[in-house]
Amino acid sequence: MTPRFDLRHVRAAALAALVSGATSALPAQSDGPDCAAAADRVRRLPLRADNLDDLRVCTESGPPALAAVWATKVPQDDNLRDALVGASGHLRDVRLYEAVVNAASSGRPTTDRLAALRVLTQYYDARLAPTVGFLTRSAVGDPISRSSHGVGLTGGRPLPNGVRSEFGELLARLAQADPDPVVRGAAVRLRQGIAYSDPANTPVAAGTVKLVAGCGPRVTVRSTSDIGLSLRVRVLGTDFDRTLHLRAPIDGRPVDHLLALPKGVVTVSHGPRELDRLTQRNLRCPSELTP
């Protein structure tokens, strides 16, 4: 057998990246000569895992072929669906991305939507590889399954720059209002999984985190957010600057964290977003509280 060096070139680039430790997407390469045929097999023939695997390196013909699968015939067989997820997660291309987003957010079967969320998670971070078990059965807050060698390949039409923030916004929407409880639960698990490490891409609904003035130095940080949050509390003009790790509410009851703060305007923020600001702190103390 004579290896074909055009494709090998792609593989060698992947290898070089791995040995050097790179875990982000490799640069886009042109399609190899096998790719058109591989894409044709996926379109015409009953789905096979190895046919889907073959598309992993097809940066031009692979994304539309895989997008078509997402649009029309997401396999119900677990192994085939895993192969679809693996190939789709590897190819970072906007054509494929849009098809997967549609699969995740529309009224598709639950299994399709969970598979789509797995792919979108890899677009968010190539090293994250959530399993179905994670999405459906893990404790909220468990870390998202990872791969030690996450590598993606940039497709002919790269992912949009805002893919990480769009992922966070999608999760917030699904977690808040999706009618499918399984999908809603999966979104909460993923949302919680990135909340602590990436608050910038974890939206928090307006009004769900509040500062409540008490007497004297007292300020209560109150959260009704759907997930646990790491909140930064500051008193402007002072040295007070602390991050609170608040759990999610249980049984709908708000989570209150009582603080004694120096005088001044208090702010609470999550990542770059200020969620609330407290300027009036002049409540008088009843006799049973120390001022």
Binding site for another protein (CB under 8 A): 1, 3-5, 7-8, 11-12, 14-15, 18-21, 23, 34, 37, 49-50, 53-54, 56-57, 82, 86, 90, 127, 129, 139-143, 145-151, 192, 196-197, 217-218, 228-230, 240, 242, 244-248, 255-261, 287-291
Q: What is the 3-state secondary structure (H, E, C) of 212-265?
A: EECECCEEEEEECCCCCEEEEEEECCCCCEEEEEECCCECCECEEEEEECCCCC
Which pair of structure tokens corresponds to residue 178? 């999706």
For another protein, give the closer residue by CB, 94 or 151: 151
For another protein, give the closer residue by CB, 139 or 206: 139
For another protein, give the closer residue by CB, 160 or 262: 262
**CB of residue 38 vs another protein: minimum separation in angstroms?**
9
Which pair of structure tokens corresponds to residue 55? 């598309």
For another protein, give the closer residue by CB, 101 or 128: 128
Spatial CB neighbours of 125, under 8 Å, sequence gap ≥ 6: 150, 164
**CB of residue 255 vs another protein: minimum separation in angstroms?**
5
**CB of residue 41 vs another protein: minimum separation in angstroms?**
9
**CB of residue 107 vs another protein: minimum separation in angstroms?**
29
Spatial CB neighbours of 157, under 8 Å, sequence gap ≥ 6: 63, 93, 94, 95
Q: Please give the Cα distance from 160 to 85 (Å, whole number).
A: 19
Q: Are the C-beta atoms of residues 26 and 14 closer than 8 Å to each other?
A: yes
**CB of residue 181 vs another protein: minimum separation in angstroms?**
21
